[in-house]
Structure 1
Amino acid sequence: MSKHWKVVTGWSTIEGQWLKRRYFNTEVLAHLAEQIGQSEAGHTGELMLAVEAVMPAHEHDSYQRALEVFGRLRVWDTPLNSGVLLYLALDQRRIEIIADRGIRVEDAEWQQVCNRLRQALGQQQYLSGLVDAVQQIQELLRQGAPSASQASDTEQDHLSNAPVLL
């Protein structure tokens, strides 16, 4: 699912770096990691948040870049194919959600998450918007992630909860 939250300007590279420094400090990242860890307690889904200040020159499409990040961060590498990537391209003002094949959630539901997050980011409510998005994703994963009875091992947290800054 893709959704932009503002028209991209010629200053997008500088703006992306500024947004990253302003809204993604150590305290915010720790809070988001804790929120992600807590959200994964009630289901087998695995959420990873990736924030990229400036998309690389080789990729101009945020969805394609999110797919690349999904692979590079090995979000697909969970026993139940239950990984979900929430990707923000700050310079492009894009939001992408990529869900692995084990997740049964309709595209329209992911789009609602993107829409609410887009509104929050547009109002410069980065932390509260992301916490809300994590909670929304948690609810969707409770309904659409593989059941716990399908898990073959006791450790269910296969991906890091810490947001990744790219």
Structure 2
Amino acid sequence: MSHAPAYSRLQIALHWLIALLILAAWVTHEAMEDAFETRLESGVLTPNPHAILGLAVFVLVLIRVFVRHRQGAPGPVPGSSAMAEAAALWGHRLLYLLMILTPIGGAITWFGGIEALGEGHELLGNALMIVALGHAVVAILHQLVLKDGTMTRMLRPRG
């Protein structure tokens, strides 16, 4: 993967859209328990906002991975330490892993009717929210305290 000077408009749009969809999915997860019970009792799959949001997140994350592979991403922040770069690398890997595994777990639970996987899916969803919150806090720290332009790369597209 090459290092681009900044993210593209598409990468930025996908980033923020996925973030909003993940938040919306997390907010709507409480209603899912009743919907799942109804699904198990009736055997009928009905449209469900949480499931639709999760599917959208999964598809958009796959598109995002493909676009990132094709277009690259900005390189290390100038002056950052090797430990900071390793933390950023592994933090992003964890985010991507959770953004992929959480919807897969939810889909298997919902479409397969496997109730035992529901708690694992919920655990993954909560872990995703915690890691995403940490990601946001670190981005804000970079922008407001370190003033190194890290967050600006996800706000201003390359020309």
Tell me the TM-score normalised to structure 2 length: 0.28
User: Higher strand proportion, which one?
Assistant: 1
Structure 1 or 2, whichever has the larger Rg, is 2
User: Higher helix proportion, which one?
Assistant: 2
